[in-house]
């Protein structure tokens, strides 16, 4: 368990999957958590279970970030951890198939939304009582390195998020600001969405086997494993880690397994 007592954390896309598990983990480790998300029914149950604070906001909307920043500042007085997790692949396709409106939507959520998360987080972290401090974690993907031909926009945005983490880390360090930024790159993770896809497949057993085979470890990751990495990077134990990329993919991007 990471010791996050006294810290305030922000999680975007916190109502399902990795985001939901991270809200649960950070709360369990002692942090006060504010989260956004698209499923208000799930948000209420998560608040009841963890004591976290839900704020309805669109990550790609700058005005919503101004509102969310005020909520965090007025109600909590500081921000120590920001996990830019919200993302989508809805409407994606190949370079020949993707519609411009879908391209713009994915870019807006996966890329602009992450930038606005970090920009707001840095502003709040600079104003922390006792001086600037904080940890920003960006959720990239193994697709930043192993891109998909039929999910071009998703792959492009996840590569951009990785570059963004390094740029933010360099900016904060050279400014002399002790605010860290790192990227995590999950592989295939068994979320509710993946389980639903498996369940609707003609052969659920074959579908599960196909997902598991994408990792040399022959299994999918769990949302709790991803949340544990976020908690570590948000903790003081990771105080000298910035500008790093953490693959958490069961060796999927480590190299070729050979024949």
Name the residues annotated as catalytic.
154
CA–chain centroid gap for 151, Å, is 18
CA separation, residue 142 to residues 184, 228, 229, 234 (Å): 9, 18, 15, 21
For the chain, the residue count is 259
């Amino acid at each position: 368990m990471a010791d996050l007592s006294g810290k305030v954390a922000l999680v975007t896309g916190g109502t399902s999957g990795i985001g939901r598990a991270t809200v649960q983990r950070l709360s369990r480790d002692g942090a006060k958590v504010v989260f956004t998300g698209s499923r208000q029914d799930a948000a209420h149950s998560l608040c009841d279970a963890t004591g976290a604070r839900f704020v309805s906001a669109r990550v790609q909307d700058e005005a919503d970030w101004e509102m969310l920043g005020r909520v965090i500042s007025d109600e909590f007085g500081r921000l120590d951890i920001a996990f830019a997790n919200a993302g989508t692949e809805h409407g994606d396709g190949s370079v020949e198939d993707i519609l411009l409106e879908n391209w713009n939507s994915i870019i807006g959520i996966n890329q602009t939304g992450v930038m606005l998360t970090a920009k707001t987080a840095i502003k709040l972290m600079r104003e922390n009582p006792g001086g600037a401090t904080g940890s920003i974690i960006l959720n990239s993907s193994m697709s930043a390195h192993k891109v998909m031909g039929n999910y071009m926009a998703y792959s492009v945005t996840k590569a951009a998020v990785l570059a963004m983490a390094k740029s933010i880390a360099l900016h904060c360090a050279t400014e002399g600001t002790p605010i860290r930024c790192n990227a995590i790159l999950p592989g295939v993770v068994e979320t509710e969405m993946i389980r639903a896809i498996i369940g609707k497949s003609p052969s659920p057993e074959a579908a599960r086997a196909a997902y598991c085979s994408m990792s040399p470890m022959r299994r999918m990751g769990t949302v709790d494993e991803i949340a544990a990495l976020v908690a570590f990077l948000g903790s003081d134990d990771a105080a000298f880690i910035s500008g790093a990329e953490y693959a958490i993919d069961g060796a999927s991007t480590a190299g070729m397994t050979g024949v």
